[in-house]
Amino acid sequence: GESVGLHLPTLSVQEGDNSIINCAYSNSASDYFIWYKQESGKGPQFIIDIRSNMDKRQGQRVTVLLNKTVKHLSLQIAATQPGDSAVYFCAESDFKTIFGAGTRLFVKA
Partner 1 sequence: DTAVSQTPKYLVTQMGNDKSIKCEQNLGHDTMYWYKQDSKKFLKIMFSYNNKELIINETVPNRFSPKSPDKAHLNLHINSLELGDSAVYFCASSQDRNNSPLHFGNGTRLTVT
Q: Provide Rg for the chain, Cα atoms.
A: 13
Residues that bind partner 1 (CB under 8 A): 31-32, 34, 36, 38, 41-46, 49, 51, 87, 89, 93-99, 101-102
Please tell me the distance from the alpha carbon of residue 2 to that of residue 60, in angstroms, as a whole number: 31
Please tell me the distance from the alpha carbon of residue 109 to that of residue 4, in angstroms, as a whole number: 31
Considering beta carbons, is residue 18 or 28 the nearer one to partner 1?
28
Considering beta carbons, is residue 102 or 109 the nearer one to partner 1?
102
Considering beta carbons, is residue 9 or 82 the nearer one to partner 1?
9
